[in-house]
Structure 1
Amino acid sequence: MSLDDLDADVTGVAGDLGDSLAVDLDRETRTELAMLVAAMDPDDPDELIRRAVHAFFQQQVDTGRLDFQLRAAYDVTYDEYLSGMTFDEMTGGMGGLGGAGGGPQGDPDDRRYQF
């Protein structure tokens, strides 16, 4: 799979999801949401769900788990998706990660793309 495949999948899923999503809640999730609504008193409980998705997404980005999953499924990272170019395209096709032609090996403290 590739960057183009990821872009097509994200666009397709976003279209399928639309603007609203009906979610079945199990007892534990319903109780936890009720506690958060009672404590936070939001104008709309849906706002807490939106915040939860944002927080989970950010956690996956910050820990590198999103990159790991994207690399396994699409052979790209989130940064590559955001830029619209793969690492090879950004460096002029100098080879893959860790190759003699470039890559993040130049700075041993940069472990962002090392799994």
Structure 2
Amino acid sequence: MSLDELTEDVESAYGDVDEEQSVSLDRETRHELAMLSAAFGTEDTDELLRRAVHLLFQTTVDRGTLDFHLRQGYDVTYDEYLSGMTFEEMTGQDQYPQRDDERRYQM
């Protein structure tokens, strides 16, 4: 896969995400959400869910987990996705032909 395929998949997934998500919660998640709601003094659990997504995203970026999964699936990193070009394109390494080491020293 490539940077272009990642961009297409992100745009497709963005279009698939509705403004409002209906998520079924298991007992443990419901309890944890209720605890956070009580602790933060809010009845708006949607805000807590938004914060949870932001925190999960930031954590995966900080730990390198996002890059790991992107490299496995698309052979790019998050930084490459943000810049719109691969590391090879940024450094100009993709402009030079591959060396043929077998014929390199032949006269």
TM-score range, shorter chain: 0.7 to 0.9
Length-normalised TM-score, structure 2 = 0.84
Distance 2:93 2:5 in 1: 20
TM-score (norm 1): 0.79
**Aligned partners of 2:37 and 2:43 also within 8 Å:** no
Structure 2 residue aligned with 1:32: 32
Q: What RMSD over aligned residues (CA atoms) do the two structures have, in Å?
A: 1.3
Return 5+ residue gaps in structure 2 as ranges. 96-107
Letter in 2 for 1:56: L
* Structure 1 outlier segments of 4+, above 2 Å: none
* C-alpha deviation, 1:5, in angstroms: 0.4
Structure with the higher fraction of residues in helix conformation: 2
State the distance in 2 between where 1:7 and 1:51 align. 24
Determine which structure has greater relative contact order: mean sequence separation of CA pairs < 8 Å that are 6+ residues apart, divided by chain length.
2
Offset, 1:43: 5.4
Among the aligned pairs, what percent are the same residue? 63
Which sections of structure 1, spanning at least 5 residues, go unmatched? 96-115
Larger Rg: 2
Mapped partners of 1:20, 1:11: distance in 2: 18
